[in-house]
Copies of this chain bind each other. A is one copy, B any other.
Amino acid sequence: MPARTRRGEVGVVDLARELGVSTATVSRALNGSAQVRPELARRIRDHARDRGYVANRHARALSSNSSRAFVGFVIPYVDTPAYSAVAAQCARLLSADGTQMILTITENDPRRELDQIRDLVATRVAGMVVSPSTGILAGTRELLRELPVVQFHRSCGIDAPGVYSDDTALGDAVTRLVDLGHRRIGYIGPSRAISNGAARLAAVRDGAAAAGLDPDSLAVRLLEPATDQGAGAVRELLHRADRPTALVVGGGTLSLAVARAVRASGLRLPGDLSLVVYGDPAWFALHDPPLSVVSIDYPELARRAARLLLDRIGGDSSGDVLLTSELHIGGSTGPPPPGA
C-alpha cells in the first residue's frame, strides 16, 4: 500500500471542535440547512473556508444514501467525437453542478458493459448517460432499471428517455439527389443492429420514397460503425456495372473512409459521382470540392443530455429529445453524368 497515510486533512470534527459547536451544526451549516442561526452559519462557513476544508465525498455519499456527487457516462467507442467529444462536453456541463462524471468505455462489448455499469451502480452514481452496446445483456437492462438513466445516440428499448439525432437530413440528402436526376443511389451506413443505424437507414429510405424513388432500388451496404471497412464497400459498389451515380454515407468514421476510397477511385465529384457524407462540415470542407455533409450539433447534444440527466435525477420525468440534423450542401453534389 503506497500509503498516503493520514494527511493533515481537516474534517467536520475539527471544525466543530475549533468553533465549540457540534458536528451536526457544522454539517447543517455547510449544507445550507435553514435551521442554523444565520450568523453562526456564516461563521462556520468562513472558518471552513479558512481552514481549507473539503468534504470527503465518499463519507458524504455513504452517509446520505443519495447525492448527485457522481454520475456515469458510458460509451462504446473512444475514437469518434460523436462519443468522446460529447462526453467531455457533458463533463464540463455537469461540473458546474458540482457533479463528477465517471467515463467508461465498453468497446461495444456487452460483457464489459455489464461490468462497468455494475461498477457504476456500486459507486452509487446518481444516474448515468448510456449509449448501449449492440447486444446489451438482460442483466444490464435490469441494472439500468434501478436508477435514473438517459440514453444517448442509441436506444436499447429500456424505459428511459434519450437524446438522439433525428437523421432526417439524410433523407433530405437522398431526396435532393433524386431531384437532381439520380436514380441509382448507394447508401453506406452503420449496421441496423444499432438503433441509430436502423434510424438512418429508415431516413434514407423515406427520403427516396418522398422523391418518388423506390427505396428498394437503393444499393445499401451496412457495416459496423467505427470501422474503416467503408473502403471495401465503396470499391464494391463502384465496380458494379450499374454503379451508383450518387453515394450517401450515414456515419462519421465511415465517411472518412468512404471519402478516401472515392478519392482513390479517381472519380470526379460531382461530375462522375455525387457524394454526401456524415460528420463535421469543417473537416469535410478540406476536400476539394467541399463535401456535402449531414451534420449534427454535438455541443447541443451534450447540453441536452446533461440537462435531461439532471432533470431526471431531480425526479422530473421528461421525454426524449430529438435533435435535428442539418444538410450542408457543398460542392460534391450535382446532376448525374449524362450517359448514366
Contact = CB atoms under 8 A, between A and B. Distances in A.
Interface of A: 1-7, 54-59, 61-62, 64-66, 69-70, 73, 75, 78-79, 81, 83-85, 87-89, 91-92, 95, 98, 100-105, 107, 112, 116, 118-124, 146-148, 256, 259-260, 263, 282-288, 299, 313-315
B65 A62 contact: no
Contacts of A112: 95
**Which interface residue of A61, A101, A103 has the most chain B CB atoms within 10 A?**
A103
Nearest to A124: B58
Contacts of A83: 88
19 contacts: A2-B315, A54-B118, A57-B58, A57-B123, A57-B124, A58-B58, A70-B102, A78-B88, A78-B89, A91-B105, A95-B105, A95-B116, A101-B103, A103-B103, A256-B283, A256-B286, A260-B286, A263-B286, A283-B283
A75 B7 CA distance: 26
Contact of A288 (B91, B95, B102, B288): B288
Which are the 9 A-B pairs with shortest beta-carbon distances? A78-B88, A84-B88, A92-B105, A288-B288, A58-B58, A54-B122, A2-B315, A286-B286, A91-B103
A95 B102 CA distance: 11
Given A84-B85, A87-B88, A102 B104 contact: no
B2 A66 contact: yes
B81 A313 contact: no
Contact of A313 (B2, B70, B314): B2
